[in-house]
Structure 1
Amino acid sequence: MPDPAPDFPAATPRSRVRVPLRFHDGYSADADLVTFHGLADDREHVAVVLGDPAPGTPPLVRLHSECLTGDVFGSARCDCGPQLREAVERIAGRGGVLLYLRQEGRGIGLYNKLDAYALQDDGLDTYQANAALGLPEDARDYTAAAQMLRALGIGELDLLSNNPDKAEQLRTLGIDVRDRVPTGVFTTAHNVRYLRAKVLQTRHTLPLDSLTELTAG
């Protein structure tokens, strides 16, 4: 396990409970939900532990930022709901952890995210809308995620993500990200501009040629 980063605060497991997960398409999996003491941002993040990695194989890990509109209500304006569903199945099949992080709207909060949606309706992309509101493009910090992983005894992993910033932050925090594994591409007529902006603005590894503009409605 890599040495802790400078000033790396420790966290400890608080509780662990078995929860059967059931999705609208019929997929199911049993998971252990783990809560923590001592997280740096004092938020109620949860680790969803799924399956057991084969000996010698690092766990598959996803850092999934909370998205009320996508995860709960099935909004087609983003790809968060399908990514969450996919991640649970892929991690359960290999063994690993999904960290469900309370970082709505890339860290700006639910109300600000909805304000940004209104600006996107007027033609701005997701990053331009944040800037117009005087907010950062991405306010997320993954110190708590690194704390959670260490508290679970995970110092080496494969990261299920299209976002290079997640891998870079974890490495800076002393986590050995062996490989970054891309997620699927979940395009709708309502989210294609959002996905293209991710590629062009923050180097997400999505196939740009496939993200052609679609007509909503």
Structure 2
Amino acid sequence: MTEPHGVPGEETARRTDVERVTSVPLPTVYGDFRAVGYLDHERGDEQVALVHGDPGAEGVLTRLHSECLTGDAFGSRHCECGDQLAAALRAVTAEGAGVVVYLRGHEGRGIGLLAKLRAMALQAEGLDTVEANLALGLPVDARDYGAAARILADLGVRSVRLMSNNPRKREALTRHGIRVAEQVPLLIPPCESNIGYLRTKRERLDHHLPHLDAAAAVPVSP
């Protein structure tokens, strides 16, 4: 890992397991960010951190967002991923500073795009998201957050206020040396198309989703 720079605009040419490759201003509809690009030499993934303002080192408002092509790019209502990404970017700009790490290689909780689509087909036949992965002989969650922790360390971040409903993400960051000062809920109102998926995340994957209690009357799509 490179030594923490503290200034996202600096670049390094040093080859490490997670190497900072470039940094460029990125104006978006949510506000102005700096896109800091990394190469994970261990896994071969290209990663990016969107940095707004001067996050500092402690208590940095942070989102680790797992890549989801169907939700992030296509606006799928099967999940809440696209809405969570937008909400995180808005929260960071409202805060005045923060980091959103967009994690490539995390599609479908780490099983890949085509496998995720196959799992979605099984869900349409009645399996839940956990059962579908297992039916395909795949892990329920294959994601690793080591690269995310090294990216945060490279940015000079030592502790975060983590925007996530997933306690396992918090535990993973802590194991990799980033302190989680607070877990900030990122709750998206459910719809008919994703209520079953969200209930499974709460009941079988331990996600903290208390807002689903108020959505008890929302029907579950087949």
Question: Which residue of 30, 33, 40 maps to 1:31?
Answer: 33
Alignment CA distance shift 1:155-1:10 (3 Å):
farther
Q: Percent identity?
A: 46
In the TM superposition, 1:204-215 aligns within 5 A as: 204-207=207-210, 208-212=212-216, 213-214=218-219
Alignment partners' CA distance in 2, 1:42 and 1:69: 22
Q: Deviations over 1:120-150 (max 9, x none)?
A: 0110001110000000111000011011111
Q: Give unpaired runs (5+ residues) of structure 2.
A: 1-15
* 8 Å Cα contact 1:20-1:31 kept in structure 2: yes
Alignment partners' CA distance in 2, 1:35 and 1:44: 7
Alignment partners' CA distance in 1, 2:17 and 2:136: 34
Hey, what does 2:11 align to over in structure 1? none
- Number of residue pairs matched by the alignment: 203
Hey, what does 1:40 align to over in structure 2? 42
Hey, what does 1:83 align to over in structure 2? 84
* 8 Å Cα contact 1:40-1:143 kept in structure 2: no
3-state SS of paired residue (1:154): coil
Question: Which residue of 16, 25, 46 maps to 2:23?
Answer: 16
* 8 Å Cα contact 2:58-2:159 kept in structure 1: no
Give the aligned residue type for 1:214. P
Q: Deviations over 1:163-191 (max 9, x none)?
A: 00110001011111111000022311100
Cα deviation, residue 57, structure 1 = 5.6
Cα deviation, residue 210, structure 1 = 2.5
Alignment partners' CA distance in 2, 1:56 and 1:11: 19
* 8 Å Cα contact 1:41-1:144 kept in structure 2: no
3-state SS of paired residue (1:123): coil
* 8 Å Cα contact 2:202-2:209 kept in structure 1: yes
Give the aligned residue type for 1:13. R
| TM-score, scaled relative to structure 2 | 0.86
Instruction: State the Cα RMSD in Å.
Output: 1.8
Alignment CA distance shift 1:166-1:211 (3 Å):
same
Question: Which residue of 104, 110, 115 maps to 2:113?
Answer: 110
Cα deviation, residue 112, structure 1 = 0.3
Q: Give unpaired runs (5+ residues) of structure 1.
A: 1-8, 23-27
Hey, what does 2:205 align to over in structure 1? 202
Alignment CA distance shift 1:177-1:188 (3 Å):
same
Cα deviation, residue 215, structure 1 = 5.2
Q: Say if 2:157 is the partner of 1:154.
A: yes
3-state SS of paired residue (2:152): helix
Alignment partners' CA distance in 2, 1:37 and 1:200: 35
| TM-score, scaled relative to structure 1 | 0.88
Q: Say if 2:173 is the partner of 1:165.
A: no
Give the aligned residue type for 2:117. L
Alignment partners' CA distance in 1, 2:161 and 2:44: 26
Cα deviation, residue 93, structure 1 = 1.8
